[in-house]
Structure 1
Amino acid sequence: MNWLKNTLGSSVGKKLMMALTGLSFCGFLTVHFAGNLTLFRGKDAFNGYAGHLHSLGSLITFAEFILLSLAAVHVLTGLTLFYQNLSARPKRYMVNKSAGGRTVGSQTMPYTGLLLLAFIIFHIQNFHLADKTHQTIYDIVSNSFAQPEYVIVYILAMIIAAIHVSHGFWSAFQTLGANHPKYMPLIKSVGVVFSLLVGAGFGFIPIYISLIA
């Protein structure tokens, strides 16, 4: 077990954990968005989807535990790497030149990550932990997005998510060893398309609900 401890304790090991947990969340976003598409089919369809998930009982609880664990690993590892990078270069360069290949996503990863963490906490409080005694999950979503400030917050959060994913997606594959001239351009293109789908797909939902609420 020492080799595992040493690997995960190294910079390479931490980047590997970031890659694996990051791709796991890309998978979760895909499944989550597919489920949210039932919103476009109306109240009964979305409540039926939510009811089906709830009926899974302990399986959903276990899945939520796994997601929370992955989130903790991703956030703590990311913060550790960010701190180590700052410690290695305590003073900023006099001239901040953009290195080849650097993008808005790559330059802002720690900051967009923290903003997304704050949004996820906000999202859980407003939907997952909301009182459902006298209202359905569709009612909660509809009432929330009837408020313009909620719509703005969610759209901004999805823009931030798209920026974060645009770099994180291909960077994860690079960390896993897919950094090959033949494949990396395609992976980067897929990452850009996926980030746009995340931003536009999730971002359109509050707009749509606000218009029909």
Structure 2
Amino acid sequence: MYEKMAFDERAEKITERIFEDKSESILFFKVLVNYLDMTSKNKLGLDKLSESVLENSTEMKSYFSKTLKVMADIAVQADEILPVYTTGQLSKFFGVSITTINNWINEGKFIGVERSERNSQARISADTLWMAKTGKLYSVAQIVNEWEEEQDALGNNRYDSEEKNFLVDQMALYEKKYGGDFESTLGMKDGLSPEEETDAAAWSYFRRKFDAIRDDKSAAN
């Protein structure tokens, strides 16, 4: 707790040091925002931030400093940080459509889960209880574990498969955002904006990882 208090006092100074390199600080900031959004400990509503905040260094520093303090709060808590899942991820684990997951949410089958906004993407914690047709309750973590065990029993390399699908989805998002592949858009553009620099770095990374997985699979065959 003492270290947490000392860290809080130094959060702004730490933020200034991290922001000495703008491109790295933007990438670091986005990673932290997404990390907190994917845990059950998000207290800042950072998932609501738009990309425009990346153009305002003062505003971004303010959020960054607050984020560091939230991380310090989490670090001194005894309970475990639980993963949260999107409706798309849950549809895979439960073996049903996303529409069915949404219907279950509306019907209250995920105990205590409600949509805060119309058409808002629900995020459901691993410790959430789900009510089956029989009325029996199962935690989402149990369903996920059963799915993972089934994939392992079938001999599926779920990690490579999930990573590959993730990489394809991310690259598709950038292609849609910039209206073409990397080489014909950010890859040939000079004078990138801070947002474009971050996207270019991430896009390049996703492409390298995808190529590495594909090469490994080809070598194995």
Q: Same fold (TM over 0.5)?
A: no
Q: Which has the higher contact order (CA 8 A, sep 6+)?
A: 1
Higher strand share: 2
Q: Structure 2 length normalisation: TM-score?
A: 0.28
Q: Which has the larger radius of gyration?
A: 2
